[in-house]
Structure 1
Amino acid sequence: MNFRHVKYFVATAELGQISRAAMELSISQSAITTAIKDLEAETGAQLFTRTAQGMELTAAGRHFLGSAYRILASIDEAMNPGGVADEEVTGTLSVAATYTVLGYFLPQHLGRLERRYPNLKIQLFELSREMVEDGLVTNRFDMAVVLTSNVNNPELATDSLLSSQRRLWVPSGHPFLGLERVGFEEISKEPYIMLTVDEAAHTTLRYWNRTNYQPSVRLRTSSIEAVRSIVANGQGITILSDMVYRPWSLEGKRIDTIIPAEPVPSMNIGLAWRKGVELTPAMRLFREYFSDTYQTPQSHLAR
């Protein structure tokens, strides 16, 4: 498997369009198209669905994306085995994170950071977004890993690293799977399971309120596993991001996904810190690590 093909696949998955990925990587669109075709031939699965809006990951593509990140991370570690420079990074870095980020995004990176910088101690704090933002502004935390799509404090700077698409979750065999189009009108007629953790309910209602419909909420819960089981057992449907999606419930029942006909905003994950603060060596390394891992130039991310 060609390493560059994996890199091209990740760029296309994150940016959603071959043209944007080609521009970001400074290569031709045909090179990316060929790479994706080769990967699909090698994996024996269709990784993208081509739509008028761009490139949508299939279920196989979403599964491969996780593996692709690990492949690129392993190559990065092999090319940068560490040494004196890494070992000289010492001190403590206080990092705050919200529930979803800590549960579904951060753990794999903590292990790599620990191996790469053995003398750097990272103190973790799980808090709500409001408490994370307040802690950054008052210098209680050095940096945070958060849902940047929820951050609204003008005193903070952010790097958005990963954009996770939201899709409709339905149980296997649901009638919606046989329809060409499933929009908010159809979804509003089904019992809806509302996740509340990390402001998920607020975000959900925000994009529902742009339509002429409202979800028929059957249950509100802070447990993603509860949502997964209830949907898989045919007791409701929901819209959640690919980052927290798993195709099976704890009972071993299948969950399928559908791209809603109307646009649904993605969930963006990234870093946050107080604007104007002088980044310490540890903070710079933390930021550079994530930028390198997700192949995203910092100059394009800071805002």
Structure 2
Amino acid sequence: MHLRHFEVVDALLRTGSFTAAGEWLGLAPAAVESLLDECEHDNRLLLFSRVRGRLQATAEALQLQSAGQRLLEELEQLRRVTGELRDHRAPPLRLMACEALIGHVLPLSVAALRRRFPDTPCQLACADLSHMQLALLMRQCDLALSLEPATHPDLQSTVLHSGKVHLIAPRGWLGGRQRHANLTLLAGEGMVALEQPNQLGQALEQRLRKLAPPPRLHLRVQSLALLRAMIEAGEGLALVDPFTAHSARLAGLDQCPVSPAIEVKLYALQRTGAETGAALRALSEIVSEKAIEALAG
């Protein structure tokens, strides 16, 4: 099948008419219909039937679209790169970060980087460690920011900063007097935790189970944003990383480090031996600065 034929099939599936598909592809409706006829004839497939003057996709057309979606995405990426080369634009800096960093540290860091390198576009994504590592290994990401070190031998982890695990609680729960919260305070208390905790979360839950009586883990959620919202609603307490605790403090929740202290490190993940341009090196420095500022507040 020719690539142009597949583009026509995809456009017709998206728009539902020769006229709209023509506008999508920059072709006359008659040209779209001709290309579809040619595609169906060459491949001996019926991809669309005409029912009362309207196009109706066949099962074969839907299967074709599903199988070729990756091809279209790669083609679009190729077109973007070609446009950047033609216009002499810098390639985008592709960044990924864990959820704890996207509410404060990452946006402030990227904004500072863009002021220093205004001609460098950025692509941002939120992901967990496994997806970060896969994107780095497939060269779909230049730098990932994580609270966990890389586990793959072809990736390197650089510590940018570190902080402590914090307790976050509804406003007034700590009474504004405590600078640290001993884990024994959590015995028998209602707790909120992530549905799929990372290595730190799993280690914290193991510690909590040793308390007498152990806390009541009565609510699990899928994101840190939802976890914080449930704490704001008075649904319990939570142990979180220092960056999530910083966001909670800005939202008016009580928060303080736990005792004994539990360290959390912020890592920059990259492919081992990958080239690093000036913008990428600057970003690592900026993230470190913004992390220090956030945790010092």
TM-score (norm 2): 0.56
Confirm or deny that 1:275 pairs with 2:272: yes
SS across alignment from 1:103: coil
Quote the residue 1:95 is aligned against.
95
Question: For the structure 1 residues 201 and 273, does the alpha-carbon distance in structure 2 shift closer, same or farther, using more than 3 Å as the test?
Answer: closer
Q: Distance in 2 between matches of 1:174 and 1:95?
A: 37
Q: Distance in 1 between matches of 2:239 and 2:222?
A: 14
Q: Distance in 1 between matches of 2:230 and 2:267?
A: 29
Determine if contact 1:208/1:215 at 8 Å carries over to the other structure: no
Determine if contact 1:167/1:240 at 8 Å carries over to the other structure: yes
Question: For the structure 1 residues 185 and 156, does the alpha-carbon distance in structure 2 shift closer, same or farther, using more than 3 Å as the test?
Answer: same
Quote the residue 1:195 is aligned against.
194
Quote the residue 2:206 is aligned against.
209
SS across alignment from 1:132: helix
Deviation digits for residues 5-39 of structure 1 (CA, Å, limit 9, x no counterpart):
xxxxxxxxxxxxxxxxxxxxxxxxxxxxxxxxxxx
SS across alignment from 1:218: strand
Q: Distance in 2 between matches of 1:102 and 1:180?
A: 26
Determine if contact 2:180/2:256 at 8 Å carries over to the other structure: no
The amino acid of 2:113's aligned partner reads: L
- The offset of 1:202, in angstroms, is 4.3
Q: Distance in 2 between matches of 1:233 and 1:257?
A: 15
- Pairing of 1:66-77 with structure 2 (within 5 A): none
Quote the residue 1:163 is aligned against.
162
Q: Distance in 1 between matches of 2:174 and 2:280?
A: 49
Quote the residue 2:227 is aligned against.
227
Question: For the structure 1 residues 218 and 283, does the alpha-carbon distance in structure 2 shift closer, same or farther, using more than 3 Å as the test?
Answer: same
Q: Distance in 2 between matches of 1:188 and 1:283?
A: 45
Determine if contact 1:89/1:282 at 8 Å carries over to the other structure: no
SS across alignment from 1:186: helix
Q: Distance in 1 between matches of 2:97 and 2:174?
A: 38
Confirm or deny that 1:118 pairs with 2:115: no
SS across alignment from 1:272: strand
Match of 1:247 among 246, 249, 265: 249
- The offset of 1:217, in angstroms, is 0.8
Question: For the structure 1 residues 92 and 130, does the alpha-carbon distance in structure 2 shift closer, same or farther, using more than 3 Å as the test?
Answer: same
- The offset of 1:89, in angstroms, is 9.1
Determine if contact 1:95/1:123 at 8 Å carries over to the other structure: yes
Q: Distance in 2 between matches of 1:153 and 1:178?
A: 44
Determine if contact 2:106/2:287 at 8 Å carries over to the other structure: no
Quote the residue 2:283 is aligned against.
286
SS across alignment from 1:269: strand
Question: For the structure 1 residues 273 and 190, does the alpha-carbon distance in structure 2 shift closer, same or farther, using more than 3 Å as the test?
Answer: same
**RMSD of equivalent CA atoms:** 3.3
- The offset of 1:178, in angstroms, is 7.1
Q: Distance in 2 between matches of 1:227 and 1:104?
A: 17
SS across alignment from 1:164: strand
The amino acid of 1:151's aligned partner reads: A
Q: Distance in 1 between matches of 2:206 and 2:177?
A: 27
SS across alignment from 2:275: coil
- Report the number of matched residues: 200
Determine if contact 2:117/2:279 at 8 Å carries over to the other structure: no
- Pairing of 1:111-150 with structure 2 (within 5 A): 111-147=111-147, 149-150=148-149
Deviation digits for residues 92-129 of structure 1 (CA, Å, limit 9, x no counterpart):
22222233222332111211211211221222233221
Quote the residue 1:218 is aligned against.
218
* Bigger CA radius of gyration: 2
Question: For the structure 1 residues 118 and 207, does the alpha-carbon distance in structure 2 shift closer, same or farther, using more than 3 Å as the test?
Answer: same
The amino acid of 1:255's aligned partner reads: L
The amino acid of 1:283's aligned partner reads: L
- The offset of 1:247, in angstroms, is 3.1
Determine if contact 2:166/2:258 at 8 Å carries over to the other structure: yes
SS across alignment from 2:102: helix
- The offset of 1:274, in angstroms, is 0.7
Aligned residues with identical type, % of pairs: 20
Q: Distance in 2 between matches of 1:244 and 1:291?
A: 16
- The offset of 1:177, in angstroms, is 6.8
Determine if contact 1:232/1:248 at 8 Å carries over to the other structure: no
- The offset of 1:142, in angstroms, is 1.8
Quote the residue 2:254 is aligned against.
256
Quote the residue 1:154 is aligned against.
153
